[in-house]
Structure 1
Amino acid sequence: MDGTLVDTEPYWMAAEHELVAAHGESWSHEDALMLVGNPLTVSAQILRERGGVRLPVEDIVRFLLGRVVEQVRERVPWQPGARELLAALGDAGVPCALVTMSYRELAQPVADRTGAFDVIVCGDEVERGKPDPQPYLLAAERLGVDVTRCVAIEDSPSGIASALASGAATLGVEAVVPVEAAPGLSRAPSLERVDLATLARIVAGDPVDLLAPSELSPR
């Protein structure tokens, strides 16, 4: 969700900077990039260890989540092409799951804006978060489908690792951090470049690399 469908990463980063500054420490953009895609408890532990935040993990999570939820309630910052792709999937009758390390408190309002998801798997509802494959395996199980017949769309290294490990065909879409080439990984610069035909190719085992130099010319 965060980074792939909605551009909430700036919200998270602002909350991290605010919290670290309140404890008299500094937090760089590079520090913030390390947290992208992590389970919230992992990010909270890093804020304790590297950011000097002297609070329990659960209090850090509560602060970050509260700040981001406040902003999302004011405005959902959709990524280009996200709503259009979800609408096309819905029109085609393709079952969809939202797999996010954000907690349901944040994920549900975003999902409700689309009506596109049959299943939601959240970070506070799994034992092992990304990069473990459990979230994607659970989503496929709840959808009642074979995970190898699914396309997972991700933007972060931990999310991509989770999706690939689950056996899902995986599409990495660049958002905050670069998507490095990897065997079997499809890539795109934006969801605006992704349509149903693209997803059909990917799930059929034909990786698509729209970030390759030959594919970067404007269309």
Structure 2
Amino acid sequence: MLPAKLPTKLSVKSVGFSGMKQNSSQRRMLIFDFDGVVVDTERVHFDSWNAAFEQMYGVTMSGDHTQIVGLSLDQLFVMWQQQGLLPPSKLTNQDKFNFLECKTAHFYRIGATKLAAMAGLSELVQQVRAQGWYVAIASRSRRLRLLKTLELVGITIPFDIILGTEDVVNSSSDRKEHHRAAHIFGIESNHCIVIEDSPSGVADAIASGIGHVIGITTSFNRQSLLDAGAHVVVNALEQVVIL
């Protein structure tokens, strides 16, 4: 069932979703998560962290990339200490900085040949732009890394605003507050659509009062995204049609 507050008509191919028409003068925003939504980065992140682990600590993670998707840096460090991958003693800020810088260097090295924009991204942005929508990125990653990744991949889409962890993550609750992007332009949270690829990202968007949250199965299965609160789940951006 559709949320009554959805401010537009949205159709998702093969899913049979339709929403509400709204006043064309009302401002709206489409907000993308970044990793796994704008750029297919999740596996490159995993490989980059493993390269940093091997270089600095002589160990590597087992499993796959899904174990780190949607987690903040602090959450990752705690998890890795509990798993014995990092020293049990408290890491200093300098330790964390050095580890992150090592990982970032590997990310750009590996990503230079493996990163690509998500299929359908440009077309979806063009579609909503033609209807007067604002378009934003809200991510748990650092803003500088987002900008450099866009440059590395060659994405020239004119996003209205790009917000990183320093802009949208509440330090007290550790929630990503998507509505911050909308409020910069005076847009109400319930007049926004968010696309997220992780259960934690979906839950954060719901907590932000976003009018409609779309889950995309880049890293997690359909049911886990629905359980987190996604109103609809797609397999690719090409399935999203906003009318």
Offset at residue 133 of structure 1 (A): 4.5
1:1-219 superposed matches below 5 A? 1-22=34-55, 23-30=57-64, 32-50=65-83, 52-54=85-87, 56-72=95-111, 76-111=115-150, 113-128=155-170, 132-168=174-210, 169-179=212-222, 180=224, 181-182=226-227, 185-197=231-243
Where 1:170 maps in the other structure, the secondary structure is strand
TM-score of the superposed pair, with normalisation by structure 1: 0.77
Q: Is the 8 A contact 2:135 2:160 kept in 1?
A: yes
Query: Comparing both structures, which one devotes a greater share of its residues to strand?
Result: 2
2:15 matched residue in structure 1: none
Separation of aligned partners in 1, 2:63 and 2:230: 30
**Divergent runs of 4+, >6 A:** none
Q: Secondary structure at the match of 1:2?
A: coil
| Secondary structure at 1:141 match in 2 | helix
Q: Identify unmatched segments of 5+ residues in structure 2.
A: 1-33
Q: Whose RCO is larger (CA < 8 A, sep 6+)?
A: 2
Contact 2:202 2:230 in 1 (8 A): no
CA change 1:128–1:66 in 2 (3 A) is: farther
Q: Which SS does the other structure have where 1:158 is aligned?
A: helix
Query: How many angstroms does 1:122 deviate by?
Result: 0.3
> What is the TM-score of this pair, normalised by structure 2?
0.70
Structure with the greater alpha carbon radius of gyration: 2
More helix by share: 1
Deviates more, 1:150-159 or 1:102-111: 102-111
- The one-letter code matched in structure 1 to 2:232 is S
Whether the 8 Å contact between 1:118 and 1:143 is mirrored in structure 2 is no
SS of 2:80 mapped into structure 1: helix
Question: CA RMSD, aligned part only?
Answer: 2.5
The Cα of 1:65 is off from its aligned counterpart by 2.5
Deviation at 1:171, TM superposition (A): 0.3
Taking a change above 3 Å as real, the CA distance of residues 163 and 178 of structure 1, as seen in their structure-2 partners, is same
Q: Residue type of the partner of 2:237?
A: L
CA deviation digits over 1:162-202, x for unaligned, max 9? 111111110001102223223562111111111223xxxxx
SS at match of 2:233: strand
In 2, are the aligned partners of 1:103 and 1:122 still within 8 Å (CA)?
Answer: yes
Matched positions, count: 195
Q: Is the 1:172–1:186 contact (alpha carbons within 8 Å) kept by the matching residues of 2?
A: yes
Instruction: Supply the AA of the counterpart residue of 1:195.
Output: V
Structure-1 separation of matches of 2:140 and 2:117: 18
Using a 3 Å threshold, how does the CA distance of structure 1 residues 63 and 16 change in structure 2: closer, same or farther? same
Deviation at 1:126, TM superposition (A): 4.1
Paired residue secondary structure (1:115): coil
User: What fraction of aligned residue pairs are identical, expressed as a percent?
Assistant: 24
Matched letter for residue 103 of structure 1: R
